[in-house]
Amino acid sequence: MIVVSAILLAAVALRVLVFRASPVPVEVARVESGTVEEIITNTRAGTVKARMRAKLSPQIGGRVTELPFRKGAAVQAGALLLKLDDSVQRAQVLLTHEQVKTAESRAREACLAAELAQKELQRGKALSADGITSQQDLDTLESNRDRTGAACQAALAACDQTRAQVGLANAELGLTVVRAPFSGVIADCSTEVGEWITPAPPGVPIPAVLDLIDPGSVDVSAPIDEVDSQRVRVGQEVRVAVDSLPGEKLAGRLARVAPYVLDVLEQNRTVEIEVDLLNAKTAGTLLPGTSADVEVILARREEVPRIPTAAIAEGGKVLVLKNGRLEEHTISTGMRNWQFTEVKGGVSIGELVVIARDSPDIKPGARAQAREAR
């Protein structure tokens, strides 16, 4: 029995000391004080847009005679961007000016005749008082006065009409040019000098020939889930990430929340939000059309105990590494996001919690070796 006991003790000692399993390597993070934010992110990629962007075309057709600026050129508000052949319109302006001169001459003639008729009537009345002129002659003079007076009024009205035609001709002349409605950069130009431009008929869209963008009016538009629409409001802090600036977060403010839900077939219902970037210089370097992701910060808590959100299992369970073994704790949580969760109880500052349970060996009671996350 002594021999058997010795063999059993040796076997147990051999299993414990030699053949026991090695500690499981686990990735851990310390419970620490820090900032936890409650955030909302976009459901699909957002887009960098220019609020002031105009696609321009002349209102009439014609041949291009001037194109002072090309793609990429910076222009000031009111600058001439395109001019069509205006020879017909200028001829029409000259014609209407001559018509005004003719109408004014006829009006002077008609009004002078009216003045003469009035004077003749006055003389006729004086002679009638002396019994020299008959009543029939007096009636003729009055009729002539009324007729010439009406002719004078008609001639004056014709003058006003021809002056209005001058305004119309000048307006038609103005349709032959396209000017910049605001200062910006020409993003695209699809015509050349000598080409003919045809305006779009009603109901038939034709692409514009000029695309003008104001780089200083850049903002970011992104969709968020409809369930979050009541939690966002204008003025909230926003962070923006764009592919062209990897690793950077651009500060912004929520400028607009759409007053309706986008109901698009085969897509989740979303609400569009618009973000103004606080750094105007950086915003001016972003190209419209660049994809962007936004994080709307709903609330923030500073210097609170926090752990990585990935460490929390269902039911608020976490694995804590103590004295080389894993212990399961149930924690109470507060504010959280995809990265960090506020801890209100269940673990203490400085304790190590397991971030990833990527092996069946990572379980309560298992021996473990820490591999602290960076």
Q: For residue 2, what pLDDT is reported? A: 81
The alpha carbons of the chain give a radius of gyration, in whole angstroms, of 43
Examine the fold and report which residue of 277, 300, 323 is the final residue of a domain before the chain moves on: 300
Q: What are phi and psi of 72, to 5 degrees?
A: 90, -10
Mean pLDDT score across all residues of the chain: 87
**In contact, 115 and 220? CB cutoff 8 Å:** no
Do 181 and 285 lie in a common domain?
no
| Structural domain containing residue 326 | 21-36+302-372
Q: How many domains does the chain have?
A: 4
**In contact, 218 and 229? CB cutoff 8 Å:** no
Please report whether residue 70 resides in a domain: yes
Do 197 and 340 lie in a common domain?
no
Q: For residue 195, what pLDDT is reported? A: 92
Q: State if pTM tops 0.75.
A: no
Q: For residue 301, what pLDDT is reported? A: 92
Which of 35, 44, 22, 40 has the alpha carbon at shortest distance from 268? 44
Do 196 and 162 lie in a common domain?
no
Do 229 and 295 lie in a common domain?
yes
285-338 pLDDT, tens digit per residue, is 888 888 999 999 999 999 999 999 999 998 899 999 998 999 999 999 999 988
Do 266 and 140 lie in a common domain?
no
Examine the fold and report which residue of 281, 300, 319 is the final residue of a domain before the chain moves on: 300
Do 349 and 284 lie in a common domain?
no
Please report whether residue 281 resides in a domain: yes
259-289 pLDDT, tens digit per residue, is 988 877 566 788 999 999 998 888 888 888 8
Do 206 and 69 lie in a common domain?
yes
219-250 pLDDT, tens digit per residue, is 899 999 988 888 999 999 999 999 888 889 99
Please report whether residue 102 resides in a domain: yes
Please report whether residue 13 resides in a domain: no
Q: For residue 217, what pLDDT is reported? A: 84
Please report whether residue 132 resides in a domain: yes
Alpha-carbon span 63 to 201, nearest angstrom: 18
Examine the fold and report which residue of 212, 230, 261 is the final residue of a domain before the chain moves on: 212
Tokens of 312: 């929390």
Do 104 and 237 lie in a common domain?
no
Tokens of 251: 């500060």
125-139 pLDDT, tens digit per residue, is 777 776 676 777 777
Do 221 and 286 lie in a common domain?
yes
| Residues contacting residue 155 through CB under 8 Å, at least 6 positions apart | 103, 106, 107, 109, 110, 111
Q: For residue 116, what pLDDT is reported? A: 87
Do 168 and 293 lie in a common domain?
no
Q: For residue 5, what pLDDT is reported? A: 76
What pairing do the DSSP bridges indicate for beta strands 24-30 and 368-372? parallel
Do 187 and 263 lie in a common domain?
no
Q: For residue 242, what pLDDT is reported? A: 92
